[in-house]
Amino acid sequence: MPGPYTKHFWTSAEPLYQQILQMPFNEELRRGTLPEDCFIYYMKQDALYLADFGRALALAGTRSAEPGQMLDFLAFAEGAVVVERALHEHYLQEYGATLDIPKSPSCEAYTGYLLRCAILEPLPVALAALLPCFWIYREVGQHILNHAAQPNRYQKWIDTYAGEEFGETVNKAISLTEKAAEETTEAMREQMKEAYLKSTRLEYLFWDAAWRKEGYPI
């Protein structure tokens, strides 16, 4: 369960989370009527995103002052990447798709922000910036699982993000972020909240880009 600081971060961004639930992409995925081309585009972008997300997790992990915590973080990061990569490989193989497109503008903005945070910002801020990708996906997955039409052609996606293995990863991310918030200053906690909010906004843009199949004009 989140502690007081991570709960505050979540509450601050909850109105936007509610909008994410109601976005056309997630509503259509819940109904099982999401157009195949939208889903394939999304899986390609998500695979591109995951590569840089994994780098950001690793970079943040190596900055820990405690060797044991660093190893725990890197193991947790590896587990997160393995779960999501398996999902991407499953669907790309199922649809006979390859990573034949560049990152969308929204994907570039999101991964660029996470990498900048992982390299340049204090570690507590970097952890807060990385947290929404875990937490929001779990909550979206569980919401869709509870309200999904059956049968649903995207059930494996739903089961992955609503599943116990991913849930344990999310709990670990929340715990690490909570601990960092406990051990820092009020001013730093405010920076953490702002980083969490910005990543949540970028999550919204990533979902929206998937629905629009966003690309560069030339």
For residue 113, count other CB atoms closer than 10 A to its CB. Answer: 18
Domain boundaries, the chain: 4-212
pLDDT tens across 194-208, in order?
A: 999 999 999 999 999
Give the mean model confidence (pLDDT) for residues 120-149: 96
User: Would you state the structure tokens that stand for residue 83, as one six-digit string?
Assistant: 């779960």
Tokens found for residue 123 = 């570690």
In angstroms, the CA 157 to CA 166 distance is: 12
Given a cut of 90, is residue 68 above it in pLDDT?
A: no
Peptide bond into 124 cis (omega under 30): no
CB atoms within 10 A of CB 151: 7
**pTM confidence score:** 0.95
203 an active-site residue? yes
Q: Does domain 4-212 have CATH number 3.30.460.80?
A: no
Choice among 107, 117, 133, 178 that is catalytic: 133
Residue 82 binned pLDDT confidence (cut-offs 50, 70, 90): confident
- In Å, the largest CA–CA distance within the chain is 50
Predicted pLDDT of residue 116: 98
In this predicted model, which residue has the larger pLDDT, 186 or 169?
186
Residue position matching structure tokens 């509503």: 27
Residues 6+ apart with CB under 8 A from 41: 101, 210, 213
Catalytic residue among 84, 121, 178, 203: 203
Lowest mean pLDDT among 64-73, 91-100, 175-184, 194-203: 64-73
- Mean pLDDT for 33-58 is 94
Top-confidence residue, 61 or 120:
120
Cα 43 from chain centroid? Answer: 13
Residue 128 φ/ψ region, left for φ over 0, alpha for ψ in the -120 to 50 degree band, beta for the rest: alpha
Rounded Cα distance, 169 and 153, in Å: 25
Sequence-separated (6 or more) residues with CB below 8 Å from residue 18: none
Residues 6+ apart with CB under 8 A from 202: 106, 109, 110, 113
105 pLDDT more than 90: yes
Is 14 known to be catalytic? no
